[in-house]
Amino acid sequence: MGGKRIWFANRMEANYYRYLLWQKEQKLIANFQYQPNFFDFRPFGYDKGVVTYKPDFLVVSMDGSSMYVELKGHISRDHKTKMSRMRKCFPGVRITVVTYSQYKQLEKDVAPLIKGWEK
């Protein structure tokens, strides 16, 4: 995809990557990256359970602002812990969670426009 070989955890991530490529081509976003980095909670005193978090995508808007996008088929207890720790440890980091129902609506709206969309 996009001239690169990338392995995704699931079809939802692969299609969202296609969606972001399409948005970039349409000049709706400036850029994006797949799993560009991770956040470590250990320096903040967390040494049990969830100690790191790696968001799915970093999206850079045309105005230069950025946010992370996390795709979730369902919201697990671990995910809730990660989001809670992110708010406490990295309060300036913006994260948007795309749930399965939101993804299905996106698919309905844009899949016909995007080459290679997997059903």
pLDDT of residue 111: 97
**Residue whose tokens read 């990660």:** 82
Residue 24 pLDDT > 60:
yes
By mean pLDDT, which of 4-13, 75-84, 93-102 is the weakest?
4-13
Residue 3 pLDDT > 80:
no
Higher pLDDT, 11 or 1: 11
pLDDT of residue 50: 96
- Average pLDDT over the chain reads 95
Residue 14 pLDDT > 60:
yes
pTM for this prediction: 0.91
CA atoms of 20 and 27, how far apart (whole Å):
10
pLDDT > 70 fraction of the chain, expressed in percent and rounded:
97
Residue 28 sits at φ, ψ, to 5 deg, of -90, -25
**Domains, the chain, ordered by start:** 11-107 (3.40.1350.10)
Which among 87, 80, 92, 95 is positioned nearest to 44, based on CA atoms?
87
Residue 34 sits at φ, ψ, to 5 deg, of -95, 125
CA atoms of 77 and 79, how far apart (whole Å):
5
